[in-house]
Chain A
Amino acid sequence: MSAKSFFKSTAFKCIVVLVGIVLVCSVFLTICNALFYVSDEERLDRALADLYSGESVTTELAPGADSLGDGLEVGRSVIVTARVVTSDNHAGDWLVQSKGLDGYQNGTVTCWVVVNTDGTSVTGVGAVSINSNEGQSYIGRITQEFLNGFSENFTGEPYPDGMLSSGASYSSAAIRNSVNGALEYVKTSLQGNGEAQNG
């Protein structure tokens, strides 16, 4: 086949059209991504509005959280970031973004967990809010009642394996792992701070 006949062939036309469509779509999506990108700050603001029912709350990076990097594995969760509330109305609260493992088809659920502390120990779970998920088709079935259950059933111990939501057992297991990981991380951090201060 000569070069001239190739450029006139259907195969060439197919390649040109397909590549053209792919390129146009890519450029279009790149522009849209820039327009509709949800920044980390926006996500944090949404989470704060959800966790504190729209109350104005300011936060800063928790002590030691700058070393988390790509995430710190704690139990069956990965701690993504941790912040402490600086406003007077909720002083002492820790805000932990924790990715719970063992979701449906090994997916994950990332939650914001408010851990109440008195400065030296964990005193409760203030609230839990779902931030994002990977491949959890039934995440919409997680009810607010289930999330409130973490505050109501706080004992200081990790939440048991049986704490699941009917109809979304894998997703709820990932949420439970996320909360357990956040509690463990805050406990360890507070102990570390206490030891550092004593030392």
Chain B
Amino acid sequence: MGKYKKIFLDGVIFSNPTFVLVLGTCPTLGLISSAMSAMSMGLCIIVILTLSNILISAMRKLIPNEVRIPCYIVLIATLVTLLRMILEKFLPDIYSALGGFLALIVVNCIILGRAEAFANKHTVPEAAMDGLANGIGFTLALTCMGIVCEILGSGSLFGAHLWDFSIALFSQPAGSFIIFGLSIALFTKVMDSVTSASRAKRQAEEARRSFEARRGKTAKEA
């Protein structure tokens, strides 16, 4: 169970595809001006990433190493086409809102990256967990930045009007880029602080144990 917990935490926090690996930047910059589009794209990525990881992991012994990338692309493109069909049929508003970015999921670095780095080396449940975790990490990152961009750029949240004040720059990719950069800086700062605190706590614990061991030894000698 600890293995799955580690995979999940890595995907969502420690190796977050957006803030740490800086993958999938194209849809990030294109869609975070609206929280709803950002979240919709994130949910699509969760579905595609989980399914592609499962398929690729299941077929890892069948696919020869020499043609693995074309095979991955075909499998991912099939899943994306299927998702497009389903969205167009049942959720036309989301289909329209995502526009060309939906088709671009085929060449999304996160999906191909996780297939190459993880899915083709691990079992199906592990690959599924990795896909789910990375998808959730990507969705959370996009939604958080989308909320900030939409509030600043349009004065609204998930389409609901909040106030009249807005800065048009933040509804453009240039503004999204600024928010993206600041978010990475903030995330890195928080992670550094957490890591430092955790390291300091561990060192203090080791020092305490060492001190107690030495004291015990001295007492025994006495």
Contact = CB atoms under 8 A, between A and B. Distances in A.
Given A14-B66, A167-B172, A140 B71 contact: no
Nearest to B172: A167
Given A25-B78, A32-B82, A32-B85, A137 B100 contact: yes
Interface in B134-182: 168, 171-172
B66 A25 contact: no
B34 A13 contact: no
Contacts of A37: 89
B62 A28 contact: no
B71 A18 contact: yes
Interface string B8-24: 00000000000000000
Contacts of B58: none
> What size tier do the contact residues of chain A reach?
20 to 34
Contacts of B184: none
A133 B99 contact: yes
Nearest to A137: B100
Given A17-B71, A22-B74, A36-B88, A29 B99 contact: no
Interface in B195-212: none
A47 B31 CA distance: 25
B88 A140 contact: no
Contact of B34 (A17, A21, A140): A140
B2 interface: no
A115 interface: no
Given A25-B74, A29-B78, A36-B88, A137 B30 contact: yes
A137 to B, nearest CB: 4
Interface stretch (B90-98, B185-193, B214-222): B90-98
Nearest to A132: B96
A18 B74 CA distance: 9
Contacts of B63: 17, 21
B101 to A, nearest CB: 6
A141 interface: yes
A136 interface: yes
A8 B183 CA distance: 53
A133 B99 CA distance: 8
A168 to B, nearest CB: 10
A46 B92 contact: yes
Interface in B25-40: 30-31, 33-34, 37
Given A21-B74, A22-B74, A36 B96 contact: no
Contact of B100 (A10, A21, A22, A136): A136
Nearest to B78: A25
Contact of A14 (B64, B168, B172): B64
Contacts of B77: 25
B69 to A, nearest CB: 11
A167 B66 contact: no
A32 B82 CA distance: 7
Interface string A102-143: 000000000000000000000000000010010111111100
Given A25-B78, A166-B168, A10 B71 contact: no
14 contacts: A10-B64, A17-B67, A18-B71, A25-B78, A36-B89, A37-B89, A133-B99, A136-B99, A136-B100, A137-B100, A140-B37, A141-B34, A141-B171, A166-B171
Interface of B: 30-31, 33-34, 37, 62-64, 66-67, 70-71, 74-75, 77-78, 81-82, 85-86, 88-89, 92, 96-101, 168, 171-172
Interface of A: 10, 13-14, 17-18, 21-22, 25, 28-29, 32-33, 36-38, 46, 130, 133, 135-141, 166-167
Top 4 closest pairs, chain A to chain B, by CB: A140-B97, A36-B85, A25-B78, A137-B100
